[in-house]
Structure 1
């Protein structure tokens, strides 16, 4: 980099900045996941069907996914700090509006605003990881980002359930929205975009925007990361955000307490499996996409066993399925590590935005399809759905897994060909267990 370095990379200041940004991401996951345990209550509050209930989260994810490319461009232009601030403002306003919504239309609009704010957070944190940490540290810190962020899902699974029970809908959601104000102050005073005197942001003119995105998208490494994220992330997102709780309670007959407990245990498993995956990714950089495929096949096998089990699947098998599904979260983080191999830091925001589109596009499609299948199978509403209805609906995941695996294999081959052609020696370097450092990224201390 041409700019003067004024702070150490990968040291105490880096960890402090990352911790503040990570706290914002935890809050974003909490807001995103809050409807997962409030879904049944929301259906009663707004008197809606399963398709309409799915529309809450689907619209939120449509906004989230649709904003990833422009957010990536803005991130490369303005840096992480600015986007974290704007994201916090939108999430706080959206959750507060959701708390006071009494009509379905107003509530959907509030979730859309929340999704717009959420869209700015994760890629901003990942850019901080790319800029503030050494290349050898990045895979582990990236996994820690995704896994620690899931603490927000834990908070949505149990404490929010308690708040809703004790305080009611409006006071519970209004209370949690106030956390954003505290984090807004922390970001203003503690977060810095770069360890360099002049941050490596890119001043992109509007007429060059389409070309810059096409250039990043044309890189096979970006697409490999995107399809890896697409294939591994959606099942856990769909399960935790919306349909896992009704499936466990209404489909399998679990108590609400047991269902909330399993959602929390899934997060704990994701942390443990993520640490293992991080070490594998760091030691086997050439085989990262195969690691993702292995996790996806495990998920598909576990779901097959649960859905085909005669009668209600035993609790131990459901737990195995849930843990396998939870492993998809850490596997999806490998997509960002793959994209970083092919992308200079000046374009990492756009690359990460495109990667992040994958999993959330799959999530919103699967989430909506499950709602549609449930309503077609049983028009009687949430209380009428039986186990066979949920079995049929949850099976829509399998075509997405199959298509995603095909695309991963396709772009793995193209990505390796690209590296051999453009960066001779890169494949051999990864084969030897060493991470390839893109020439656009500084190599201090690697």
Structure 2
């Protein structure tokens, strides 16, 4: 890696092309959000079957993080990102022509697979192309900008469904994948002076060694639990349950519910660069920042859920803003991975951490649905399930914060003396 080549114009070109691939992955992931009614009619399915699309994609995304991380460490981010772009393009094309529920499920499975092959690659490219001082800022910009793909998907896909119909709308979306594929092929290099890099062969022995070494380091586990505890509340609201909670649980108007979800996305995008600068200036207090943010989320949710009757509109605004900050805060976990693992297993460790938030989100999405069914649609009871995961996550963050600091003190006492702690 050539440090002199980092933070250059070429670095930003590579990042922007990779970011376009990530934006498109989120676009494809979210394109079904505005197609629920059309999909129900096309495949003649119930609401429960429709929600299976979302659960399947989350499950595939989460399950593939470690295999994708291993593949990136072996074949390099460029090759895996190209593979993801191709899979997304083909699977969206197949979804365009799907006429049965089973075929549509199979297509969405591969959409989840292609989606899973993008983000880890982008983080690896950021670490290769930018100097250590710039990586936190770029990383915390990457997540919020990429997640805006969900917003980008809403308006054009709504128009496309009404004007072009199902097949042409999804074919148009798939065509965007061809542009991204060619851009990755033309402009992305694994490192400043290497178009492609290759790691050790993927034998079972090497896989076990890489996974064991990554998981053994308490910094990786601290990053895992940071990602786990920060992300799921905003993901659950934005992905499925936010709109019903506000309209049916808090009795807001549909327009105000939509405004609240938009405000949450704005909070995500504004908080990203702010947190990036904060952890860049205070890298030894990353877990403290996470603990403060999650505690704030818990306090605000407690006020809303304990409010007699419906919470006032201003309180719901505070809720979505504070919860929204948890989205980019989850990216702090990846910065722990960066400073706790060598380059040759960085993507494997990143994959381990990246599955944490989606595992928590999937668990909460399912649990909220089950509790709603068993409590006669009591949203306050259903949303209270979050306390289980907050309690688990906060305990684990504190636990591995202590262990990570002890590891730094043991392995690098001079570094400890200079900075008086890690995390």
Q: TM-score, normalized by length of structure 2?
A: 0.92
Q: Is the 8 A contact 1:37 1:242 kept in 2?
A: no
3-state SS, counterpart of residue 352 of structure 2: helix
Which stretch shows the higher mean deviation, 93-102 or 53-62?
93-102
Which stretch shows the higher mean deviation, 388-397 or 55-64?
388-397
Quick check: 1:103 aligned with 2:100?
yes
Separation of aligned partners in 2, 1:128 and 1:141: 11
Separation of aligned partners in 1, 2:384 and 2:105: 27
Quick check: 1:143 aligned with 2:140?
yes
Which stretch shows the higher mean deviation, 117-126 or 231-240?
231-240
Separation of aligned partners in 2, 1:94 and 1:395: 37
Out of 354, 357, 360, the position equivalent to 2:355 is 357
1:421 alignment partner in structure 2: 410
Out of 352, 363, 366, the position equivalent to 2:364 is 366
Listed as ranges, the gaps of 5+ residues in structure 2 are none
Q: Is the 8 A contact 1:21 1:125 kept in 2?
A: yes
1:328 alignment partner in structure 2: 326
How far did residue 396 of structure 1 move? Answer: 1.7
Distance change in 2, residues 1:96/1:372 (3 Å): farther
Quick check: 1:113 aligned with 2:99?
no
Separation of aligned partners in 1, 2:14 and 2:262: 27
Deviation digits for residues 37-63 of structure 1, max 9, x if unmatched?
Answer: 444554565555554343222221111
Q: Is the 8 A contact 2:189 2:195 kept in 1?
A: no
1:13 alignment partner in structure 2: 10
2:123 alignment partner in structure 1: 126
Distance change in 2, residues 1:365/1:348 (3 Å): same
Quick check: 1:92 aligned with 2:85?
no
Say which structure, 1 or 2, has more relative contact order (CA 8 Å, 6+ apart): 1
Deviation digits for residues 71-127 of structure 1, max 9, x if unmatched?
Answer: 111101111111111111112222233333343333222221111111110010000
Q: Is the 8 A contact 1:50 1:374 kept in 2?
A: no
Distance change in 2, residues 1:41/1:414 (3 Å): farther
Q: Is the 8 A contact 1:50 1:371 kept in 2?
A: no
Q: Is the 8 A contact 1:7 1:195 kept in 2?
A: no
Separation of aligned partners in 2, 1:324 and 1:396: 18
Separation of aligned partners in 2, 1:263 and 1:157: 13
Q: Is the 8 A contact 1:157 1:264 kept in 2?
A: no
3-state SS, counterpart of residue 330 of structure 2: helix
Q: Is the 8 A contact 1:147 1:330 kept in 2?
A: yes
1:301 alignment partner in structure 2: 299
| Paired residues for 1:46-85 under 5 Å | 46=43, 48-49=45-46, 51-85=48-82
Distance change in 2, residues 1:350/1:276 (3 Å): same
Distance change in 2, residues 1:6/1:157 (3 Å): same
Which stretch shows the higher mean deviation, 169-178 or 143-152?
169-178
2:379 alignment partner in structure 1: 390
1:338 alignment partner in structure 2: 336
Listed as ranges, the gaps of 5+ residues in structure 1 are 379-387, 437-446
Instruction: Tell me the matched-pair count.
Output: 422
Alpha carbon RMSD of aligned pairs, Å?
2.4
Separation of aligned partners in 1, 2:209 and 2:121: 22
3-state SS, counterpart of residue 315 of structure 2: helix
How far did residue 273 of structure 1 move? Answer: 1.4
